[in-house]
């Protein structure tokens, strides 16, 4: 069988790429080793933060604004509610990196925000007990996405537009072949004019180590607040990020989106436990939970409650923590999307559009220069 484009991996990025390609009338085959919206990779756990005042770099802001438009379009087309706006709060010292960079990025792109200080923070958000010197940068348009539902919606719309999607089929090998590509899987061999590789934490093996990627184990915990979820309902508690007073480490979390009994999800952004999708320790240990609770209860004392459940996930980091999106440096007719460094989900709608542009037109008008795959060439 021959296709115009094969998409390898139908997680966050691949499902979006399959949708945007099929919507342009391209003959697409999508190949996924597991079932739709599975929990073995990087895109599960019920919620992902989306925000506009992008402390990582203001370069991401035009993309996140386009991502919002595309999420709203996908909601309309698929008839699903995917993006919930709760507002967002970035907590920390006014002089800390997180707060300073958040405000600078917002100012650069005229993203609305307000700054609360001291007692004002607890007045607005009663679950929060700010530390001395804390400010809260509050942005109104932040919120959360439902990652599994987003992937399902992209897959549904891709199929509706004519994409052929294969699940529980593993790509074993791929190669550039003449003017196209060939992919061998657990079930057959397929050829296409172009290949998009969106393999998430499997990118290291799929791309034979071409990029300096580092996969790490992350733990998300759902904590039952002492005294119940009243102060954590979305009307009174936004998505949040907080910087440790000593600087550096960032914790984050969500309101009680599953109601009483569902807990409040919180986690630490980043960990140094390197793994692969094959070697990751998926078991949850008491020490994992203790690390999270100890950190989050500093500013949210009610989160010292019982941990109802917890789950591992993987980040795939690049050295500069910017994504890798563009042509494969050595293989013509192959576009890669990997290294989303623990902050990619919110962009997956627009990444799908970029990947479709690159696969079909060989270029995109969206600003993706900082994701250039060639930037690692010539490294040690």
| Interface pick for ligand FAD out of 19, 125, 202, 371 (rule CB under 6 A) | 202
Q: Is 199 in the site for ligand FAD (CB under 6 A)?
A: yes
Q: At its nearest, how many Å lie between ligand FAD and the CB of residue 380?
A: 25
Binding letters toward ligand FAD, positions 276-305, x by CB under 6 A? ------------------------------
Q: At its nearest, how many Å lie between ligand FAD and the CB of residue 345?
A: 3
**12/158 with CB nearer ligand FAD:** 12
Q: Give the CA radius of gyration of the chain.
A: 21
Residue appearing with tokens 């756990």: 45
The window from 2-10, 63-71, 131-139, 228-236 that contacts ligand FAD (CB under 6 A) reads 2-10
Contact 80/126 with Cβ under 8 angstroms?
no
**56/120 with CB nearer ligand FAD:** 56
**11/180 with CB nearer ligand FAD:** 11
Distance of CA 333 to the CA centre of its chain: 26
Q: At its nearest, how many Å lie between ligand FAD and the CB of residue 121?
A: 21
Give the Cα separation of 197 and 191 in Å (integer): 14
Tokens of 250: 């960032």
Q: Is 12 in the site for ligand FAD (CB under 6 A)?
A: yes
Q: At its nearest, how many Å lie between ligand FAD and the CB of residue 97?
A: 18
| Interface pick for ligand FAD out of 52, 86, 218, 327 (rule CB under 6 A) | 218
Give the binding-site size for ligand FAD (rule: CB under 6 A). 37
Q: Is 34 in the site for ligand FAD (CB under 6 A)?
A: yes
Residue appearing with tokens 């709203």: 72
Give the Cα separation of 380 and 378 in Å (integer): 7
Residue nearest ligand FAD by beta-carbon distance: 11
Can you tell me whether residue 68 is helix, strand or coil? Answer: helix
Q: At its nearest, how many Å lie between ligand FAD and the CB of residue 30?
A: 9
Q: At its nearest, how many Å lie between ligand FAD and the CB of residue 338?
A: 6
Q: Is 170 in the site for ligand FAD (CB under 6 A)?
A: yes
Binding letters toward ligand FAD, positions 236-275, x by CB under 6 A? -------------------------------x--------
Among candidate residues 334, 276, 347, the one with its CA nearest the CA of residue 50: 347
Contact 313/147 with Cβ under 8 angstroms?
no
Binding letters toward ligand FAD, positions 127-166, x by CB under 6 A? ----------------------------------------
Give the Cα separation of 296 and 81 in Å (integer): 29
Binding letters toward ligand FAD, positions 337-356, x by CB under 6 A? ---x-xxxxx----------
User: CA torsion sign, 92 to 96 to 102 to 107?
Assistant: positive
Alpha helices in 132-285 (DSSP H): 147-160, 203-206
Give the Cα separation of 243 and 251 in Å (integer): 7
Among candidate residues 328, 329, 326, the one with its CA nearest the CA of residue 371: 326
Q: Is 55 in the site for ligand FAD (CB under 6 A)?
A: no
Contact 25/75 with Cβ under 8 angstroms?
no
Q: How many CB atoms lie within 10 A of CB 321?
A: 15
* H/E element, 292: helix 286-296
Give the Cα separation of 280 and 114 in Å (integer): 40
Which residues contact ligand FAD (rule: CB under 6 A)?
Answer: 8-14, 31-34, 41-43, 45, 48-49, 170-171, 198-202, 206, 218, 220, 267, 313-315, 340, 342-346
């Amino acid at each position: 069988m021959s296709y115009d484009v094969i998409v390898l991996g139908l997680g966050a990025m691949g499902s979006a790429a399959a949708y945007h390609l099929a919507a342009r009338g391209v003959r697409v085959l999508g190949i996924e080793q597991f079932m739709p919206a599975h929990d073995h990779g990087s895109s599960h756990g019920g919620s992902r933060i989306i925000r506009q005042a992008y402390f990582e770099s203001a370069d991401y802001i035009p993309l996140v604004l386009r991502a919002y438009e595309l999420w709203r379009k996908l909601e309309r087309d698929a008839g699903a509610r995917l993006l919930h706006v709760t507002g967002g709060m970035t907590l920390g010292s006014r002089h800390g990196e997180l707060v300073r960079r958040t405000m600078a990025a917002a100012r650069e792109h005229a993203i609305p925000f307000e700054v609360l200080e001291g007692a004002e923070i607890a007045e607005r958000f009663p679950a929060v007990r700010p530390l001395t010197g804390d400010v809260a940068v509050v942005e109104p348009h932040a919120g959360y996405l439902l990652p599994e539902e987003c992937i399902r919606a992209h897959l549904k719309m891709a199929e509706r537009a004519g994409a052929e999607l294969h699940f529980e089929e593993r790509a074993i090998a791929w190669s550039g072949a003449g003017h196209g590509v060939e992919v061998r899987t657990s079930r057959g061999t397929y050829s296409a004019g172009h290949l998009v590789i969106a393999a998430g934490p499997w990118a290291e093996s799929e791309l034979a180590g071409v990029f300096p990627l580092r996969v790490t184990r992350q733990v998300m915990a759902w904590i039952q607040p002492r005294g119940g979820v009243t102060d954590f309902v979305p009307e009174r508690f936004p998505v949040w990020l907080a910087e440790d007073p000593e600087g550096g480490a960032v914790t984050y979390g969500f309101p009680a989106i599953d109601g009483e009994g569902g807990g409040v999800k919180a986690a630490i952004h980043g960990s140094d436990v390197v793994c692969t999708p094959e070697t990751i320790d998926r078991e949850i240990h008491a020490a994992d939970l203790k690390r999270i609770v100890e950190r989050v209860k500093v500013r949210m004392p009610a989160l010292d409650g019982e941990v109802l459940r917890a789950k591992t996930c993987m980040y795939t980091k690049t050295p500069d923590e910017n994504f890798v999106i563009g042509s494969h440096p050595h293989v013509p007719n192959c576009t890669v999307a990997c290294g989303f460094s623990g902050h990619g989900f919110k962009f997956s709608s627009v990444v799908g559009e970029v990947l479709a542009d690159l696969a079909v037109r060989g270029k995109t008008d969206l600003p993706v220069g900082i994701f250039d795959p060639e930037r690692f060439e010539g490294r040690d």
